[in-house]
Amino acid sequence: MLAYIVRRLALLPAMWLAVTLMIFLMLEPLGPYQKLALFLDNNPEMAVPANKLSEEQLQRVFDKHGLNDPFYVQYGKWLSEVLRFNFGWSTTAQAPVMEALISRLPATIELTMLSIGPLIFLAIWMGVKSAVHQNRWIDHATRFIAITGFSLPSFVFAIFVLVIFYGWLDWFPPGRLSLWADQVVFSDSFTRFTGMNLVDTLLNGRFDIFVDAIRHLVLPVISLSYLSWAALLRVTRSSMLETLKQDYITTARAKGLTETSVIHKHARRNALIPVLTLSGFVIVGLLTGVFIIETIFNYRGVGFWAVDAALSFDVPAVIGITLFTATLIVLANLIVDIFYTVVDPRVRYD
């Protein structure tokens, strides 16, 4: 297993380089001035619009950053900037891309972490329960909820719950915090340790703001996780039903093992292999779905900024977010492969 992990880790740089090359190829249709923002970590050269610069001034700026060089030279220079964590200047954030990404990342981490944990564990637990109690009321109810969630687009479900629980009932408002709480959090009396509201409010002893942050997170978390939860539940149920029909399960029962031991020690572990495979795609789905959910709920994280950057044609911001997301996807796939051996010791990598 250790040798497999080392080989996979050795492949990560090559995979990441392939991603950067594909992204840079897509930038070829852009003009030199649009590419210029990819090389800047501040805004002095962008202060004057391109149409206000003389040909000599433009040429001097382009030569400085190698924008008139061959493709492979441009790619090498851009990659060297990326490796120094310089992703360029974002016009929507009015800051370097890396700085803007770091400032917005805690909000998105808070949202996705609250979604991933309950999503995976609740889907596995309910999928197992549904399979064990096949064709009983709990199975019918679970399948109805899963099919409903699997059939709805994420933005439809998000708008639906927003209209009901905020528009009609006024229980769970959009945004990250209420106005009064936001003023406290960004005042001198409040210390920002992590940028995550739930953690920082507890560390500052502001339980009233903690409750307010929870109220604002309920609908985004449900909307982000519900559709993925439905898909994962269906796969868990199908895999568990197939496992329960295997001969070794019949043998375990014939040996006098308790039903709890048969279900949790033998059947569930073997049924989790396809579930783990899907979990990797679910995590990827959360990373892409967060763009839609954050926009609908006015949740100012990386996803909200990504949509704003795309609509404003903020190329450096879009490229920086794309590279960040691609890196997370590669790492998520590696983690899923490693967990195969944890769930099923029979799985070995030569």
Alpha carbon distance 167, 195 (integer Å): 28
Per-residue pLDDT of 315-348, as tens digits, reads 888 888 988 888 887 777 777 777 766 666 555 5
Task: Give pTM, 2 decimals.
Answer: 0.80
Lowest mean pLDDT among 24-33, 179-188, 278-287: 278-287
Alpha carbon distance 127, 131 (integer Å): 6
Task: Check residue 48 and give its pLDDT.
Answer: 45
Per-residue pLDDT of 206-227, as tens digits, reads 999 999 999 999 999 988 888 7
Name every residue whose Cβ is closer than 8 Å to that of residue 148 and which is 6 or more positions away in sequence: 230
Tokens of 11: 């492949």
Pairing between β-strand 95-96 and β-strand 89-90 as defined by DSSP bridges: antiparallel
Q: Which residues pair with 90 in a beta bridge?
A: 95
The share of the chain scoring above pLDDT 70, in percent, equals 86
Domains of the chain and CATH, by start: 2-90 (no CATH), 95-343 (1.10.3720.10)
SS3 31: coil
Mean pLDDT confidence for 140-157? 80
